[in-house]
Structure 1
Amino acid sequence: MPFGEQPAYLRVADDLRQQIANGTLPPHSRLPSQASIRTRYGVSDTVALEARKVLMAEGLVEGRSGSGTYVRERPEPRRICRSGYRTLGESSPFRQEQTDERVRGTWEAHSERAEAGEAIARRLHIEPGDPVMCTRYAFRSGGEIAMLSTSYEPLRLTARTPVMLPEEGPLAGRGVVERMAAIDLVVDNVAEDVLARPALAAEARLLGAVPGHSVLVIARTFRAGSLPVETADVVIPADRYRVGYHLPVR
């Protein structure tokens, strides 16, 4: 195939996507049937089916059992703010993930002892199988779950200290920076990698999304100097939120 030439199913998907974007196919309207697509574009059933699959994978349409395929509502993405500024005394888990002071939210959390897998061990500079405290969060904003987060802290640093459980004890819910300061670990830098991937079924259920639709994942690690003290994966539905950064310039 010559460079720049699209397969037939992508050309069909492009045209249908444009109709969705310009309102010709508004939210909740039914997508043309497979037979209609075949006739209109002069393509095979296979091409028509693949074009519909593309739109479903992009989250533009959804199938309804026994009814057909419909255009999904596409709300304007809300902004989740990230910041390079971290201060003591103001870093609750929700504020840690959403730095826009105009946004208020709540969170639910559950902690349990676990063993570090290979990927988490690399991020924390520990050995696979080493004990960690795993805490799973669900962050709510405006009544809906906006973000999920799973964090890991090496128990070699926090075991038998007042901050071993992030959501219990004298500094419950105060966030990584303040909690680590209480055990003489000064968190002075944080690294974040942002990637996109399909939502897992369990994530989609909690986020009110469709399994397989895209989520943004922020892989974040707090460090005291070169020592990682916490790492987390923050999961955000890509069709409802965008991530913005506010960083200091030196």
Structure 2
Amino acid sequence: MSQDSAPPPYLRVAEQLRQRIQSGELAPGALLPSLAEIREETGYSGTVGQRAYAVLVDEGLVVARPGRGHYVRSQEERPLLVRRPRVAPGGGSPTEAVLAAQGIHARWDSESTTARADRRIADRLGITAGDPVMHTSYVYRADGEPVQLADSWEPMAVTGGTLIVLPEAGPYAGIGVADRMRHIGIEVGIPVERVTARGAARAEAALLGATPAAPVLAIERTYYDQATGRAVETADVVLLGSRWAAEYGTRPPTA
């Protein structure tokens, strides 16, 4: 093969890693070489390593964990998770409760910051653009594997100065919107949800360990105060399409 017809360096690096994975040398869950290690081993730039890993992620052989590296993806079929939009009062975090009922251990990372509502969020909350909100970002994991993202916004006019102002800190941390709001005298009822299907954005795919444009369910969810009709929380929820099915309604009890 002439040099002109030889595959580009990133494909050669991808093939070397692919062979190590397929031979079993690198087992499912194994941490793959860092970009610095690839550069040291091959002499190619970090960009070559990045493109090689992008190929393997697209093939479903590798999963990227932001800030942690690249890992060999398990090829075992993973169970389909069923999402329901609400749990019984006092049931805590809906995601945690729903996964626990399916025998799955759930945990999540979160970060809360005060922000100013942009026009889109302000319209959903019925407030003025620029009004202060508490913005919380989440990455949910099922048995350690990322499966869901969420961004939540709550008007500071509702929660500011209360013990629930930080959703994941304080005495009522991590119990879900409905139970938290009950502690300040607000009953929210069942949220309104708008569900669409689309491809994952690159940043979403990176957090979910998926390929860019992988199918996701995108949910715009809003909770309302049942007494006043005022929106008290709105969220963008992103579910990995290969892992989730959404189920709505309540089955009546059998006779």
TM-score w.r.t. structure 2 length? 0.65
Q: Which residue of 2 aligns with 1:134?
A: 135
Alpha-carbon distance in 2 for matches of 1:163, 1:69 = 40
Matches within 5 A, 1:133-212: 133-212=134-213
Matches within 5 A, 1:65-144: 72=60, 76=77, 78-83=79-84, 85-92=86-93, 94-95=95-96, 98=99, 100-144=101-145
- CA RMSD in angstroms comes to 2.9
Greater fraction of residues in strand? 1
Which stretch shows the higher mean deviation, 70-79 or 210-219?
70-79
Q: Which residue of 2 aligns with 1:227?
A: 230
Q: Which residue of 2 aligns with 1:215?
A: 216
- The verdict on how the C-alpha distance between 1:184 and 1:68 changes in structure 2, with shifts beyond 3 A counting, is closer
- 1:232 Cα deviation (Å)? 0.9
Alpha-carbon distance in 1 for matches of 2:197, 2:250 = 25
Gaps of 5+ in 1: 1-27, 29-62
Question: Are the counterparts in 1 of residues 124 and 234 from structure 2 also a CA contact under 8 Å?
Answer: yes
Question: Are the counterparts in 1 of residues 92 and 176 from structure 2 also a CA contact under 8 Å?
Answer: yes
Task: Return the letter of the residue paired with 1:89.
Answer: G
- 1:189 Cα deviation (Å)? 2.4
Q: Which residue of 1 aligns with 2:71?
A: none
Gaps of 5+ in 2: 1-21, 23-50, 62-74
Per-residue Cα deviation, 1:175-208 (whole angstroms, up to 9, x for no partner): 1111101111111121111112221221111111
Per-residue Cα deviation, 1:53-72 (whole angstroms, up to 9, x for no partner): xxxxxxxxxx958x999854
Task: Return the letter of the residue paired with 1:227.
Answer: R
- The verdict on how the C-alpha distance between 1:68 and 1:212 changes in structure 2, with shifts beyond 3 A counting, is closer
SS at match of 2:205: helix
Task: Return the letter of the residue paired with 1:110.
Answer: E
Per-residue Cα deviation, 1:144-199 (whole angstroms, up to 9, x for no partner): 11111111111100001100000111101111111101111111121111112221
Task: Return the letter of the residue paired with 2:249.
Answer: L
Q: Which residue of 1 aligns with 2:250?
A: 248
Question: Are the counterparts in 1 of residues 83 and 247 from structure 2 also a CA contact under 8 Å?
Answer: yes
Aligned residues: 188
Per-residue Cα deviation, 1:12-41 (whole angstroms, up to 9, x for no partner): xxxxxxxxxxxxxxxx8xxxxxxxxxxxxx
Question: Are the counterparts in 2 of residues 94 and 106 from structure 1 also a CA contact under 8 Å?
Answer: no
Question: Are the counterparts in 1 of residues 86 and 190 from structure 2 also a CA contact under 8 Å?
Answer: no
Alpha-carbon distance in 1 for matches of 2:175, 2:143 = 22
Alpha-carbon distance in 2 for matches of 1:233, 1:98 = 19
SS at match of 1:209: coil
